Amino acid sequence: MTGPRTGPAPKRLGLPPLSEYLPGSPAGRLFALATLTSSFGTGLFLAGATVFFTTAAGLTHVQLGAGLGIAAFVGLVATIPLGGLADRAGARNVLIGAMLWRALCFTALAFVQGPVAFTVAASCQAVAQNATGPLTQALVGGIAGDGDRVRLMAVVRTVRNIGFSLGALAATPMLLIDDIWINRGVLIGNAAAFAVSALLMLRLRAPGPVKAPAFRNPFAAFRAVRDGRYLTLAGLNSVLTLHMTLLAVGLPLWVTSHDSAPDALVPILVLVNTVLAVVLQVPFAKGVTDPRTGVRALRRAGLALAGCAAVLAVPVDTKASLAIAAALAACVLLTAGELWQAAGAWELSYTYAPEDRRNVYLSVFSLGFAVQDMAGPLLITAVVLVQGPPGWLGLAALFAVASLLPGLVVRRLKPPAAEPVSPAAVTGA
């Protein structure tokens, strides 16, 4: 007869309790509600904007694509100057201003006619759009403690995905009715959502900005980031953000280029990714609380993405069941890489950004996403359509290498104190 067990109780497997998916502070809950509101509007826009612009606004597909490309470039250029402004005025204040500005721009987009008016309005909107991510990260860092910062970012990202889905569902019946004002409601509803989100954030109490250098002009902020190691880390992270293009371009092209894989599999893969991201982002981010765990998260992200690419290199032309299984396995690995990449990037980009210019540094780090948006589709298309299985294996090797290098870079970084800015950067010379 054995005595009672005295060792530690075994850990239970499964998802964390519902409380882990909720912000732990009133400020966090208020910000999550504001995020849900704005992302609901974005879901409306993403679901219905293309249809509206190519019908009611009279744009051709070429004009729409060209206008969006110009707007994306304008938003890219504006990201760092807005980060510099946030270091002076505070992330909360600039983010509120960005929300209100976007509300005005989306209202204007609901009434544009022709490519010139569309490009101007879309570019004005993009000025604030690209800055929203780094401003959000800086604001979350201010209202959450060090140990809870990444978890709160995970909660915010989960809430955002839920808002996107709800907004897209709400847009569906509006698009089934051929009425100009109902179709405009997709954009006007998005504008209203941003305005309400801004009003909610007015109630948010956040720490004031640390005194930062007074840049003579906004573009002098480009010279505020001089740490090559931080820039290298941002570049490596941009390689890992290729998961976005893999989901949007790589997997659909892989499915459509294999006769044994039904085209109807594409929306199923997107649904699998969305559901897993909503359910698992918080658990994946929970253990990321310091640079060591941040590096580990990026390493796991790279290895998961390498596994995804390797699976897609497997010949599957003979059996539909094998093709479907490979696509689903690749989607699961891709999603795991996405969740680990996000958590690791949140921790490392914030920790190694100087406090007095944190918004500028985070803005620079976020440019890796824009680089991925521009270069990713070309790279993935070449891998899928030109190289085939050897290309997928080469991509797997790229991800594997990218998983190892962040640790080497972080070893040379130290959590920085406030750095002096050179007179040239201050004066804009």
Report pLDDT digits (tens) over 161-187. Answer: 999 889 888 887 877 777 778 878 889
Separation CA 8–CA 233 (nearest Å): 39
Name which of 362, 349, 359 is nearest 85 in CA terms: 359
pLDDT at residue 193, as a whole number: 95
78, 130 in Cβ contact below 8 A? yes
**Distance between terminal CA atoms of the chain?**
83
pLDDT surpasses 50 at 3? no
Lowest-pLDDT choice from 143-152, 204-213, 278-287, 375-384: 204-213
pLDDT at residue 346, as a whole number: 94
Burial class (CB in 10 A: 0-12, 13-18, 19+), 331: buried
In whole numbers, what is the pLDDT of the chain averaged over residues? 84
CATH number 1.10.10.10 is the correct assignment for the domain at 227-411: no
- pTM to 2 decimal places: 0.84
pLDDT at residue 163, as a whole number: 92
328, 316 in Cβ contact below 8 A? no
- Note the CATH number of domain 21-209: 1.20.1250.20
Classified as helix, coil or strand, 204 is: coil
Q: For residue 423, count other CB atoms closer than 10 A to its CB.
A: 9
Separation CA 117–CA 222 (nearest Å): 29
Name which of 379, 376, 384, 390 is nearest 261 in CA terms: 384
CA-to-CA separations, 304 to 252, 291, 300, 326, 413, in angstroms, rounded = 19, 20, 6, 14, 25
Classified as helix, coil or strand, 301 is: helix
Every domain of the chain with CATH number 1.20.1250.20 lies at: 21-209, 227-411
Strands (E), 247-334: none
pLDDT digits (tens, 9 = 90+) for 87-112: 888 889 999 999 999 999 999 999 99
pLDDT digits (tens, 9 = 90+) for 242-277: 998 888 888 888 888 888 888 888 889 988 999 999
String of DSSP letters for 130-198: HHHHHHHHHHHHHHS-GGGHHHHHHHHHHHHHHHHHHHHHHHHHHHTS--HHHHHHHHHHHHHHHHHHH
Q: For residue 370, count other CB atoms closer than 10 A to its CB.
A: 17
AA identity, residue 340? W
